[in-house]
Amino acid sequence: MTTPMWALIAVFAPLASALLLAVLAPIRRRGGLAAAVSITFALASLVGAIFAVIGTLHAGGSDWTRSWLASGGALPLSVTFGVHVDGVSAPMLAVVALVATCVQLFSTGYLDDESSASRGRYFAYQSLFLFSMQLLVAAPNLLQLFFGWEIVGATSYLLIGYWYKKPSAARAAVKAFWVTKFADMGLLIGLVALFGFTGSFEWTAQLAPAAATAVTLLFVLAVMGKSAQFPLHVWLPDAMEGPTPVSALLHAATMVAAGVYLVVRAQPLFAQAPFTQHFLAYLGAGTALFAALLALVQTDLKRVLAYSTCSQLGYMLAALGAGSAFAGFFHLTTHAFFKALLFLAAGSVIHAVGSNEMSKMGGLWKKMPLTMLVFIAGAFSLAGFPGFAGFFSKDLIIDSLSEHHLWAPYAALLLGAFLTALYMGRAILLTFFGPHESHEAEHAHEPGWSMKLPLIVLALLSVGAGFFGGDLWHLASLTDYVHGVYHFRFGAVASVLALSGFVVAWVAWGKTREEPALARSLAAFANRAWVDRLYVFGYRAGLLLVSDVAAWIDRYIVDALVNVVGSFFLLGARRARRLQTGNVQDYLFAMSLGAIALAVWSIWR
Amino acid sequence: MTFTATMIVFALVGALAFVGSIFTVRSSKLVHAVLWLGVTLGMTAILFVQLGAPFLAGIQLLLYVGGVMTLMIFGVLLTKRDGDSELKTEEPSRERGALIALAVFAVLAGTIWLGRDALQRTAVPSLGTGWLGTSLLTRHLVAFEALSALLLAAMIGAIVIARRRDPDQPSEPKES
Amino acid sequence: MTHHLLSLIVGAPAAAALVLFSVPATEKLFVRIVALTGALISLAGSIAVLATYNLSEGGFQLRETYPLVPRLNISLSLAADGWSVALLLLTGLIIVAGVLASWTLENRQKEFFITLLILVAGVFGVFVAQDLFVFFLFYEIAVLPMYLLIGIWGSSHAITEGGPFKYIWKLFNIGDKQYAAMKLTLMLLVGSALILVGILAIYSNGGHTFDLFALAKAHYPHHMQLFAFVLLWVGFGSLAGVFPFHTWSPDGHASAPTAVSMLHAGVLMKLGAFGLIRVGMILLPDGAHFWAPFVGTVAVINIVYGALAAMHQKDFKYVVAYSSVSHMGVVMLGAATLNVLAWNGAVFQMVAHGVMTGLLFALVGHVYERSHTRDTQRMGGFATVMPGVATFFTIAVLSSLGLPGTAGFVAEFLVFLGAWHSAYSWWAVAGVVGAFVTAVYVLTIARRVFWGPPDPVKQFHELRDVRRTEWGALWILGAAIVVLGFWPGLISSHIDKATVANLQQVNGAAAVTLNDSGHATRSTVGWAKQSDAHRVRPSMMGSAPLHPSYALTRPMPAADRCRSAPPIQRAGSRAPDATTATVVMR
Amino acid sequence: MTLTTCLILSAALFSVGLYGLLTRRHAVGILLSIEVMANAANLNFVAFAHYGGASWGQAFALFVLGLTVAEVAIGLALVMLLFRSHKDVLVDLANAFKH
């Protein structure tokens, strides 16, 4: 088996599972069987991905492509599909497959209240998601990437709307699709333009500077949507209406990271556009700070994590903006582990308590010690506690910004690091410590093994993955845009800030569950609603109004013309009808006249 | 131009035919009109003889004067209404009819007048009844057979149309 | 057998209709089976055509010619090229699905199937006719039965407007099936009349023959082309739903019975676009080039305006009907762009939209049949009671918004790629925006009807999901959407073959010269010339020249996408005297 | 007696028949007028056969005679029908097309 073959298994095993579940209703309707099928194929995908990584380590990158769509003539188009295995895609395949497997396993426990038919539906969606994500990751060109990009968007829509009987879930699903689809217009136009300029969909294409800036800025629009960057981040908090494992997989670990992955992948293009890179750095840093502030004032545990995801994606994009593709990519992988872990742990809590609100939790450390431990491990990793995985990758990002003298984003990210520790400290304290705030919290208990096992696996990775940075570097440097050597410097400032964040959190929420005055005023200011309202206003006053006008014009102007013409003939006919007396001799008279006229004309013409 | 006997006969017979036709279309009593039609048809038969078609003249007398006229008289008598009580319809305009008739005549006569040079022909000897019979059964056989089929169809059709409806069956709704 | 494949396809539905004439209407099952058999034979024939078409050879194949009126050079001449292959397949799929979807029709089913099958025979005929007269004949056969189908089997339960405009609705009987049928028939017949004039103009200027092949070789006077093209555009455009001649379409599709909506929106509207390309553009290249900017702009209006109008609709069927107007805009945009990619996209969109809208109408019809309402505001949570319908609706909706992995994406993407290469790149941008608007309204409608909580009135709790044969219809169309989305090569290579040949006809006829800097200019008059000479793209976007368009006869460096090939370096390949501005080629 | 005079006579008869056709109200009267017209046509045929050498003229006249007979049969049947439904035979009663 060659490396691309393993990668093909990684990509297409989930597709097989999705097809099986979609077509064979008997399997799908038996929820447990569906879960088994889905997890088996996810494991196959994981195995394929691991072998692809090993193959890449030994033999470097390789490809397997086939023609997908071609057209001839004077405008040749030749699109291929297949897998492109290199130091970036292979580890990413493995990360995605690993997290997905964990999440699917977790889901079997999490969703045990659901009817088996709807669980079957869930796992069909999950398999489809995994397939499309792997398709995106392994894409040999930007078009296939876009292909996967859009299907993950659609599966995200399906999974957010999984509990469609909840109106909020149905609405959130549509909202997520709208926002990302709006952003995807950028990617679509960008691709069309890229083809217009180069005749291909390669990320290695060479463009004129202006064209490169235009195309990459269009890509950035899509990235902003998919990776939930300000001001297109509004869908992500709402997406928490989906089941928590979905949030863990799609809206934290993998799908939202697709935007970052796109920028990593298209690094050769972005490198040609310095303006875009600067924009990206400021955008990422701004979002990192902004979302961290918002995370601080949430009362919903999942929303804390959602805003934290926005914030961390901002870190990655800032690093990419600084031109350090590896830092962003590294953080992408570690973030996938610890954020999935945090979400799953949160899911375990929510499963036990039956509510997302932190005000209903509290004191859970006695009831769910394992969950608490892994949650704290994830939080430390996220906050960049020295030695944990996030510490390594985040330091690399902050370093890369200082290297490139982007001081404003640098400062924002440092402040963000402090805030991260602060809000995670708050979340830990409010959730696991203090008194029980509800009846359910009093009777909470640890979940079963199907949920514990993924937690433990991910916790181990969240703690230890940082030490493999050098290996990842080794892999990633197989691509042509990761240069230099991996050097790790202990980021003292960031560490101190992170630690002080936890200390401040302890001071603020250690004894009381009351919000400090500062946080309350922040909440009042930064409540996400105002951005949302702006969009709602734009939708109602913009799109809906225009649509009403268009429909009105269609019915009462364009169509009215038709009706008026029709009526004209109808009325005319009503008059002309009087000519028809019904009397044979009148007709004869007319006939004779006609015959005479014809005869006269034919004789004397 | 000398007046021969043929010409005189022609003029007389033609005038009679014309007069007959006028009365056919103008006489207020239909029975009279039928009789006048008989006069017209009879005069035409004489003209046929003059034009070398004696067989046709015979047929004309037999078929028309004998058959058709009888039928017509039956028709007139059978449809005699119970007095002219309800004259709810308008009389067709005589002037309009006359105008059209005159116009048609003018056109026809004008055409004939324009083509009078081409019409300067001498009579050819008749080919005879035997020839006519032969040609009917050879050259015009298809048309002849079609005509016979037509006559049969007309006969059946006339019977079907004029047949009195079965009193059991409801007659079709009379609506206007 | 292959010698008569095309006449088999065209003849099978007609023969089935003939058989149905002699079947008593009380034998319901037999009637259905005969209708289905006719449809299935056509589908099988279409698949056989796909399989037997020799792709390496290209051109028109499976030719059959039977003299019809020798004195006027009219012959029943059938042949299939790549486009026909794709469109025959589409029609086959839709008619089979349509028969299955009307399996349980109660009212005069026999007569319904007879009319439907005659109509579909006409559709098949148009796609393979090689004689202009026969083409028109089939076209009319396809258009006329609509009047009966809508007038007799249609529905009049449109959600009418309230408020001050209620009066207008009443005055014209808008929403009534008679109104819809009459409007549709009259508008399309007026269109047909214009087409007839156009066809006669072509006939008399093209050497008094109806043979399309010979007509394509003929040379037509320039001004005649400009004039006749407009006639054909209006005529065929009426059927294709081109703004502003589209207004029959929402009313007609909304009032038509399920199978008819499927067939009409799915296939018949394509006849318009197909006719415009095959007769209008290929025979009258000057006219096509001259009017292309106008046609394309109107098409863009169609896309955006149709989508916006659809967004406003409260009536379920009207939403889908307006979406057809919008999607046909994509076809027309592709047609107007006059290059390989866009034409490929246009034909692909014909197929994609046909399948997708067929599926949508099947589902909408099913929902209407069960719930007896078309008011989306009264519906809600139907996914609970009819999960199958909801699933397939979602698939169709995703195709409609151009999601990759569905047929809709391939088509729209090709059209946008092509449109970017025209002189009017903003067409592509507007098209993308239209696709976004589509996403907004289709998702709204999907959420309003299918997702969300079940309705509180409990009026719709007893509705049933699709059953038995209806599954067949849904699976056929749903699978076609996904298969074509993942494997467009199934038909795209056929389409491409025909497109390249046809486009050569269009662009070869108009004089193309290369100027010194290597850019093509076209020596046609009017808008086209102006646009070539004066439309200059500012250097902001591309100091690298654009990808050469079709107009360039110079062979393109093969853009082979194997990974080892170096990326195409265009920045250095500029002609020495090219200024910073690049002439945009059409 | 020449071809021209024959034709003129025939035209006159025809016109008179037409006049009757346009002015008669009674259905049988209309039939009579038609007979006059057919007769005029026959006269033409025979005249041409006699002068022009159109040898088929007489055969044609024969056919016209046959046709007329058929027409009279059908026409009278219709008249009977009309009479039965309207109790009268004025043709302007039979104007169902108008309504």
Concatenating the DSSP letter of every residue in C333-346 gives: HHHHH-SHHHHHHH
What integer pLDDT is reported at residue A198 of this predicted model?
87
For chain A, which chains pass the contact test of at least 3 CB pairs under 8 Å?
Answer: B, C, D
Nearest to C247 by CA among C164, C191, C167: C191
Mutation for C interface: A188, A195, A545, most C CBs within 10 A: A188
**C278-295 b/e with 16+ CB inside 10 Å = b?**
bbbbbbbbbbbbbbbbeb
Evaluate whether chains C and A are touching (3 or more beta carbon pairs less than 8 Å apart): yes
Mean pLDDT of A422-433: 85
Q: Are A190 and A262 in contact (CB under 8 A)?
A: no
Residue type at C50?
L
**Residues of A at the B interface, defined by Cβ within 8 angstroms:** 585, 589, 592-593, 595-596, 599-600, 603
Question: Which residue of A lies nearest to B103 if distances are taken between CA atoms?
Answer: A596
For C147-195, what is each residue's pLDDT tens digit?
888 888 888 777 777 677 777 777 777 778 888 888 888 889 999 999 9
What integer pLDDT is reported at residue C580 of this predicted model?
35
User: pTM for this one?
Assistant: 0.80
Q: Are B16 and B47 in contact (CB under 8 A)?
A: no
Phi, psi of C142 (to 5 degrees): -75, -30
Encode C163-232 in three state secondary structure: HHHHHHHHHHCCCCHHHHHHHHHHHHHHHHHHHHHHHHHHHHHCCCCCEHHHHHHCCCCHHHHHHHHHHH
Nearest to C236 by CA among C290, C181, C190: C190
What integer pLDDT is reported at residue C456 of this predicted model?
65
Tell me the nearest-neighbour CA distance from B53 into chain A, angstroms.
30
Q: Cα dist. C225→C194, C205, C229, C232 in Å? A: 14, 10, 6, 10
What integer pLDDT is reported at residue C555 of this predicted model?
37
For chain C, which chains pass the contact test of at least 3 CB pairs under 8 Å?
Answer: A
From the CB of residue A88, how many other CB atoms can be counted at a distance below 10 Å? 27
- Strand, coil or helix: C399: helix
Whether B107 and A600 lie within 8 Å, measured CB to CB:
yes
Tell me the nearest-neighbour CA distance from A589 into chain B, angstroms.
8
Alpha helices in A465-554 (DSSP H): 469-476, 492-509, 517-526, 529-537, 545-553
Whether B100 and A596 lie within 8 Å, measured CB to CB:
yes
Cα–Cα distance measured from residue C66 to residue A513, given in angstroms and rounded to the nearest whole number: 91
Question: Taking CB atoms and an 8 Å cutoff, what residues of chain C touch A146?
Answer: 404
- Give the H/E segment covering residue C68: strand C61-69
For A253-283, what is each residue's pLDDT tens digit?
888 889 999 998 888 888 888 899 999 999 9
Mean pLDDT of C247-260: 87
Mutation for A interface: D33, D91, D93, D97, most A CBs within 10 A: D97
Question: Which residue of D lies nearest to B35 if distances are taken between CA atoms?
Answer: D32
Selected residues 48-67 of chain B with any CB under 8 Å from a CB in chain D: 48, 50-53, 55-56, 59-60, 63-64, 67
Mean pLDDT (chain C) is 81
What integer pLDDT is reported at residue B82 of this predicted model?
56
- Give the H/E segment covering residue D67: helix D57-86
Is D18's Cβ below 8 Å from some Cβ in A? Answer: yes
Mean pLDDT of C372-382: 80
Evaluate whether chains C and B are touching (3 or more beta carbon pairs less than 8 Å apart): no
Evaluate whether chains D and C are touching (3 or more beta carbon pairs less than 8 Å apart): no
What integer pLDDT is reported at residue A437 of this predicted model?
74
Tell me the nearest-neighbour CA distance from D70 into chain A, angstroms.
21
Reported ipTM: 0.76
Rg (CA), chain A: 30
The least confident of A208-217, A351-360, A585-594, C66-75 is A351-360
For A44-102, what is each residue's pLDDT tens digit?
999 999 999 888 888 878 888 888 888 877 778 888 898 988 888 888 999 999 999 99
Number of residues in chain D: 99
Mutation for D interface: A584, A586, A596, most D CBs within 10 A: A584
From the CB of residue A563, how many other CB atoms can be counted at a distance below 10 Å? 20
Cα–Cα distance measured from residue A239 to residue A173, given in angstroms and rounded to the nearest whole number: 7
**B130-142 b/e with 16+ CB inside 10 Å = b?**
eebeebbeeebee
For B43-85, what is each residue's pLDDT tens digit?
999 999 888 888 889 988 888 878 888 888 888 887 776 555 4
- Please tell me which of the candidates A581, A585, A592 has its beta carbon nearest to residue D98: A581
DSSP 8-state assignment for residue A516: P
Domain residue extents for chain D = 3-98
Mean pLDDT of C466-474: 82
- C550 pLDDT higher than 70: no
With cut-offs at 50, 70 and 90, classify the pLDDT of residue C530. Answer: very low
Cα–Cα distance measured from residue A321 to residue A77, given in angstroms and rounded to the nearest whole number: 32
DSSP 8-state assignment for residue A468: G
Residue A227 makes CB contacts below 8 A (sequence gap 6+) with A256, A257, A258, A259, A260, A313, A316, A317
Whether A581 and D95 lie within 8 Å, measured CB to CB:
yes
Whether D98 and A584 lie within 8 Å, measured CB to CB:
no
Question: Taking CB atoms and an 8 Å cutoff, what residues of chain B touch A589?
Answer: 96, 100
Whether B104 and A596 lie within 8 Å, measured CB to CB:
yes
Higher model confidence: residue C52 or residue C523? C52
With cut-offs at 50, 70 and 90, classify the pLDDT of residue D36. Answer: very high
With cut-offs at 50, 70 and 90, classify the pLDDT of residue C257. Answer: confident
Mean pLDDT (chain A) is 85
- A242 pLDDT higher than 50: yes
From the CB of residue C519, how many other CB atoms can be counted at a distance below 10 Å? 20
Is B158's Cβ below 8 Å from some Cβ in D? Answer: yes
Whether A603 and B92 lie within 8 Å, measured CB to CB:
no
With cut-offs at 50, 70 and 90, classify the pLDDT of residue C16. Answer: very high
Whether B104 and A593 lie within 8 Å, measured CB to CB:
no
Whether B44 and D19 lie within 8 Å, measured CB to CB:
no
Higher model confidence: residue A487 or residue A304? A304
Mean pLDDT of B98-108: 91
With cut-offs at 50, 70 and 90, classify the pLDDT of residue C538. Answer: very low
For chain B, which chains pass the contact test of at least 3 CB pairs under 8 Å?
Answer: A, D
Q: Cα dist. A182→A176, A296, C333, C435 in Å? A: 10, 28, 22, 10
Selected residues 113-132 of chain B with any CB under 8 Å from a CB in chain A: 114
With cut-offs at 50, 70 and 90, classify the pLDDT of residue C516. Answer: very low
- Strand, coil or helix: A80: strand
- D99 pLDDT higher than 80: no
For A300-319, what is each residue's pLDDT tens digit?
888 888 999 999 999 999 98
- Give the H/E segment covering residue C88: helix C82-101
What integer pLDDT is reported at residue C522 of this predicted model?
38
Given the candidates 3.40.50.300, 1.10.3720.10, 1.10.1660.10, 1.10.287.3510, the CATH classification of the domain at D3-98 is 1.10.287.3510
Mean pLDDT of B126-136: 83
Question: Which residue of A lies nearest to D24 if distances are taken between CA atoms?
Answer: A585
Whether B92 and D24 lie within 8 Å, measured CB to CB:
yes
Higher model confidence: residue A68 or residue A355? A68
From the CB of residue A197, how many other CB atoms can be counted at a distance below 10 Å? 26
Cα–Cα distance measured from residue C326 to residue C342, given in angstroms and rounded to the nearest whole number: 17
Q: Are A89 and A45 in contact (CB under 8 A)?
A: no
Nearest to A267 by CA among A200, A193, A202, A333: A202
Q: Are C280 and C204 in contact (CB under 8 A)?
A: no
In sequence order, the β-bridge partners of residue B175 are none
Mean pLDDT of A398-408: 83
Cα–Cα distance measured from residue A218 to residue C412, given in angstroms and rounded to the nearest whole number: 19
- The region that residue C567 occupies, defined by phi over 0 for left and psi between -120 and 50 for alpha, beta otherwise, is beta
Cα–Cα distance measured from residue C506 to residue C289, given in angstroms and rounded to the nearest whole number: 9
Nearest to D3 by CA among B49, B10, B120: B120
Q: Are A446 and A335 in contact (CB under 8 A)?
A: no
Mean pLDDT of A536-551: 85
Whether D95 and A592 lie within 8 Å, measured CB to CB:
no
With cut-offs at 50, 70 and 90, classify the pLDDT of residue C459. Answer: low
Question: Taking CB atoms and an 8 Å cutoff, what residues of chain B touch D16?
Answer: 18, 21-22, 24-25, 101
Q: Are C331 and C353 in contact (CB under 8 A)?
A: yes
